[in-house]
């Protein structure tokens, strides 16, 4: 199936773009095949009540509208792009995708990253604790996560400069400083919060659709050697905070209705606020998403992680993230954690694919244990759509550049 076909009327993801003649003028766009609809201009032409919001230089005002507004805009969009009576007017506001520049589509408020794949967590546990339990005692009772750095979330195509920091070689008595030697990827799915919530008011699983606007592919770049030295006892810090790449396109949740699936069967009791055992009860939908991810390194497919295998769902993550009374803000981004399946070719990080670097990948352009300068990683994904169609998620692309003082 062509890439264009993945972005038909059942998808319509939102982004932010500019044109060469007006590089400083950022506009909301909607991808439609190989074109981008200038949404603000189209809304004005059609007399939409949301024209002012859709002319904003960021998605945040649209995110803040809330679900009724999202649905109304989406209904209008589908009509403008598919109905014969509107086609001529809409066509005047379509621009070739190849002629626009794409930007980070929203202003990131807070960023949280989870650890939701049982297969990934088990693999990591076996790599680092071969003689102990693969999973920590709390893993099946709550979605483990950490607060990341919103200011280093970057749009696809932004170069990733190899991070520097402290690392401790296993046979040395003291740490050394320098560029990371174990730079890795994490193939993830991100969820973008639209409607905020007040401080002190938890958001239950049934509130997922009311607060989460859409989905984006995400690569949480990781310096494994920096991470290994710093994370005891508090968790990820500099080994994670240097760059997180996201797609320039945010796919609305409503475009993924046909991809909703039940999560894997739980084999541990859950506290009530996380219990989704009776999908459909109390307004709780099937919590999983059937997203098929492909990871390419320098053009070569190295993994195809299935998101449907994720143990903890995005609705559970939202509920856990707010159960202590933490508020949601428009533009909050939270990510699934590395997506990995049960098979070796379904592992979403080089850490797993090379088993801690001990089993390098054999690629046409050489072996890889971890990323080298000049390497390019591309994530793509699609999901089942209505009536046999497919819905694409915008790609995430990043190329590794040398550390700043090593250029």
Give me the catalytic one of 103, 120, 211, 320.
120
Do 136 and 59 lie in one domain? The reply is no
How far, CA to CA in Å, does 74 sit from each of 60, 85, 152?
Answer: 16, 17, 30
DSSP line for 131-173: TS-SS-TTTTTS--EEE--GGGEEETT--EEPPEEEE--TT-S
Do 85 and 186 lie in one domain? The reply is no
**Digitized pLDDT (tens) for each residue of the chain, 407 residues in all:** 678 899 999 999 999 999 999 999 999 999 999 999 999 999 999 999 999 999 999 999 999 999 999 999 999 999 999 999 999 999 999 999 999 999 999 999 999 999 999 999 999 999 999 999 999 999 999 999 999 999 999 999 999 999 999 999 988 999 999 999 999 999 999 999 999 999 999 999 999 999 999 999 999 999 999 999 999 888 899 999 999 999 999 999 999 999 999 999 999 999 999 998 754 455 568 899 999 999 999 999 999 999 999 999 999 999 999 999 999 999 999 999 999 999 999 999 999 999 999 999 999 989 999 999 999 999 999 999 999 999 999 999 999 999 997 54
Do 262 and 369 lie in one domain? The reply is yes
Position 253 in a domain: yes
Distance from C-alpha of 103 to C-alpha of 17, rounded to nearest angstrom: 6
- Cβ atoms 226, 165 nearer than 8 A: yes
Please identify, among 103, 119, 137, the residue that sits at the C-terminal boundary of a domain: 103
Distance from C-alpha of 66 to C-alpha of 134, rounded to nearest angstrom: 41
Question: Among all chains, which residue has been given the structure tokens 């590089």?
Answer: 23
Q: What is the 3-state secondary structure (H, E, C) of 177-193?
A: EEECCCEECCEEEEEEE
Which of these, 123, 108, 134, lies nearest to 339 by C-alpha position?
Answer: 123
- Cβ atoms 291, 189 nearer than 8 A: yes
Position 407 in a domain: no
Q: Is 311 annotated as a binding residue?
A: no
Q: Is 338 annotated as a binding residue?
A: yes
Q: Is 71 annotated as a binding residue?
A: no
Do 209 and 341 lie in one domain? The reply is yes
Which H or E element spans position 293? strand 292-297
Please identify, among 77, 103, 129, the residue that sits at the C-terminal boundary of a domain: 103
- Cβ atoms 126, 351 nearer than 8 A: no
Which H or E element spans position 327? none
pLDDT at 4: 84
Q: Is 365 annotated as a binding residue?
A: no
Q: What CATH code is carried by the domain that includes residue 354?
A: 3.90.850.10
pLDDT at 407: 47
Q: Is 227 annotated as a binding residue?
A: yes
Domain span at 253: 111-401
Report how many domains make up the chain: 2
How many Cα atoms within 13 Å fall on the side-chain side of residue 339?
30
Q: Is 215 buried (19+), middle (13-18) or exposed (0-12) by CB count in 10 A?
A: buried
pLDDT at 305: 98
The alpha carbon dihedral of 285, 146, 182, 172 has a sign of: negative
pLDDT at 261: 96
Q: What 3-state DSSP class applies to 229?
A: helix
Position 88 in a domain: yes
Position 374 in a domain: yes
What one-character DSSP code corresponds to residue 273?
G
The CA R_g of the chain, rounded to the nearest whole Å, is: 21
Do 332 and 397 lie in one domain? The reply is yes
Position 406 in a domain: no
How far, CA to CA in Å, does 75 sit from each of 23, 52, 72, 159?
Answer: 30, 17, 5, 36
Q: Is 186 annotated as a binding residue?
A: yes
Do 19 and 125 lie in one domain? The reply is no
Q: What CATH code is carried by the domain that includes residue 40?
A: 2.30.30.230
Distance from C-alpha of 192 to C-alpha of 214, rounded to nearest angstrom: 5
Q: Is 259 buried (19+), middle (13-18) or exposed (0-12) by CB count in 10 A?
A: buried
Do 200 and 291 lie in one domain? The reply is yes
Position 326 in a domain: yes
Distance from C-alpha of 10 to C-alpha of 175, rounded to nearest angstrom: 53
The interaxial angle of helices 39-46 and 67-82, nearest 10 deg, is 80
Do 37 and 162 lie in one domain? The reply is no
Q: Is 390 annotated as a binding residue?
A: no
Do 56 and 141 lie in one domain? The reply is no
Do 58 and 194 lie in one domain? The reply is no
Position 213 in a domain: yes
Please identify, among 81, 103, 125, the residue that sits at the C-terminal boundary of a domain: 103
Q: Is 120 a catalytic residue?
A: yes
Q: Is 188 annotated as a binding residue?
A: yes
What one-character DSSP code corresponds to residue 25?
E
Which of these, 306, 109, 274, lies nearest to 193 by C-alpha position?
Answer: 109
pLDDT at 406: 54
What pTM was estimated for this model as a whole? 0.96
Distance from C-alpha of 199 to C-alpha of 326, rounded to nearest angstrom: 6
Phi and psi angles of residue 235, each rounded to the nearest 5 degrees, phi first:
120, -175
Which of these, 8, 333, 22, lies nearest to 155 by C-alpha position?
Answer: 333
Do 42 and 188 lie in one domain? The reply is no
Do 98 and 187 lie in one domain? The reply is no
Position 83 in a domain: yes
């Amino acid at each position: 199936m062509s890439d264009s076909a993945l972005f038909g009327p059942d998808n319509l993801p939102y982004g932010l773009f500019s044109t060469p003649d007006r590089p400083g003028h950022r506009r909301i766009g909607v991808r439609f095949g190989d074109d981008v609809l200038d949404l603000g201009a189209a809304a004005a032409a059609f007399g939409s009540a949301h024209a002012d919001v859709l002319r904003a230089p960021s998605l945040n005002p649209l995110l803040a509208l809330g679900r009724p507004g999202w649905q109304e805009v989406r209904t209008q969009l589908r009509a403008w792009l598919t109905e014969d009576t509107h086609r001529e007017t809409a066509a005047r506001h379509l621009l070739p995708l190849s002629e626009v520049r794409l930007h980070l589509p929203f202003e990131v408020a807070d960023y949280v990253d989870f650890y939701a794949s049982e297969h990934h967590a088990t693999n990591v546990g076996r790599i680092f604790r071969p003689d102990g339990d693969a999973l920590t005692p709390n893993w099946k009772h709550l979605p483990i996560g950490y607060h990341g750095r919103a200011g280093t979330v970057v749009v696809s195509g932004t170069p990733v400069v190899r991070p520097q920091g402290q690392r401790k070689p296993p046979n040395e008595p003291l740490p050394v400083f320098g560029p990371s030697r174990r730079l890795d990827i994490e193939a993830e799915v991100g969820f973008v919060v639209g409607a905020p919530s007040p401080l002190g008011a938890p958001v239950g699983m049934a509130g997922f659709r009311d607060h989460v606007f859409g989905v984006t592919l995400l690569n949480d770049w990781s310096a494994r050697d920096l991470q290994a030295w710093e994370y005891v006892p508090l968790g990820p810090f500099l080994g994670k905070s240097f760059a997180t790449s996201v797609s320039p396109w945010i796919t609305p949740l409503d475009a993924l209705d046909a991809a909703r699936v039940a999560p894997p069967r739980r084999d541990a009791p859950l506290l009530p606020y996380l219990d989704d055992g009776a999908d459909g009860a109390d307004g709780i939908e099937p919590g999983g998403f059937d997203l098929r991810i492909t990871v390419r390194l320098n053009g070569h497919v190295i993994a195809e992680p299935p998101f449907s295998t994720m143990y903890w769902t995005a609705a559970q993550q939202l509920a856990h993230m707010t159960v202590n009374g933490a508020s949601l803000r428009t533009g909050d981004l939270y990510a699934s954690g590395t997506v990995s399946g049960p098979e070796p070719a379904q592992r979403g990080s080089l850490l797993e694919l090379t088993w801690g670097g001990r089993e390098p990948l054999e690629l046409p352009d050489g072996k890889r244990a971890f990323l080298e300068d000049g390497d390019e990683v591309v994530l793509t994904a699609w999901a089942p759509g209505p009536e046999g169609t497919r819905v694409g998620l915008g790609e995430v692309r990043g190329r590794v550049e040398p550390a700043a003082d090593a250029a």
